[in-house]
């Protein structure tokens, strides 16, 4: 390590010792899991070190810089998790429609007729117009609100709700024997 890197590491370690708990406590307002907060703060300090950002431990804005950097990383973390959940939920729905959280049918593990359920859901969904399938997918699978789907698709909220209810009711009827 060069003298500059040694000085950088010393200043960052002082800031770490001084502000670590404060930054972790600040993140708890965004992410409620303490272990995740600690990991994000550690990653924040590592990123600062890897980018060779020189922190002044006694500077008036150091604490605010650390908190804002960690909060931005926490927001990025939450966005990634939301995207992962959406992708997983879509994939799970396409493979095992019984994995839906909508309460239409029992969990997949509890039924012997998983393949049959998949076929029923797939055939039921094919009977609907693609607009109705889109509305159902956005609301039930992706977790979007009626207002969001209404704005995005240029339909009234009433029509969006009606389409979603229509598809849901049809799936409930088709899957009634598996409940």
Q: What is the pLDDT of residue 132?
A: 86
Residue-averaged pLDDT of the chain: 80
User: What is the CATH code for 3-81?
Assistant: 1.10.1740
Structure tokens at 150: 């209404």
Residue range(s) of every CATH 1.10.10.10 domain in the chain:
96-178
- Report the first-to-last Cα separation within the chain, whole angstroms: 65
Whether residue 167 contacts residue 136, with contact meaning beta carbons closer than 8 Å, is answered with yes
pLDDT at position 107 over 50 = no
Structure tokens at 38: 């600690």
Instruction: Compute CA 86 distance to the chain's CA centroid, rounded to the nearest angstrom.
Output: 7
Q: Can you tell me the mean pLDDT for 120-146?
A: 82
Domain 96-178 top-level CATH class: mainly alpha
Q: What is the pLDDT of residue 90?
A: 66
Residue range(s) of every CATH 1.10.1740 domain in the chain:
3-81
- Quickly tell me which residue has 């650390």 as its tokens: 66
Structure tokens at 100: 């839906």
pLDDT at position 170 over 90 = no
Neighbours of 35 (CB within 10 A): 8
Segment 16-42, tens digit of pLDDT:
999 999 999 999 988 888 899 999 999
């Amino acid at each position: 390590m060069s003298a500059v890197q040694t000085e950088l590491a010393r200043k960052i370690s002082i800031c770490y010792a001084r502000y670590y708990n404060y930054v972790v406590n600040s993140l708890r307002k965004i992410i409620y899991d303490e272990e995740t907060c600690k990991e994000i703060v550690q990653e924040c300090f590592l990123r600062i070190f890897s980018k060779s950002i020189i922190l002044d431990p006694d500077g008036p804005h150091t604490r605010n810089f650390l908190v804002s950097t960690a909060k931005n990383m926490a927001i990025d973390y939450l966005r990634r998790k939301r995207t992962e959940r959406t992708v997983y939920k879509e994939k799970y729905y396409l493979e095992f429609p019984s994995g839906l959280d909508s309460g239409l049918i029992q969990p997949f593990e509890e039924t012997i007729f998983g393949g049959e359920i998949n076929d029923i859901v797939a055939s039921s969904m094919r009977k609907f117009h693609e607009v109705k399938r889109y509305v159902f997918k956005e609301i039930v699978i992706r977790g979007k609100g009626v207002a969001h789907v209404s704005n995005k698709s240029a339909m009234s909220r009433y029509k969006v709700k009606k389409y979603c209810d229509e598809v849901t009711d049809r799936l409930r009827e088709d899957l009634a024997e598996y409940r």
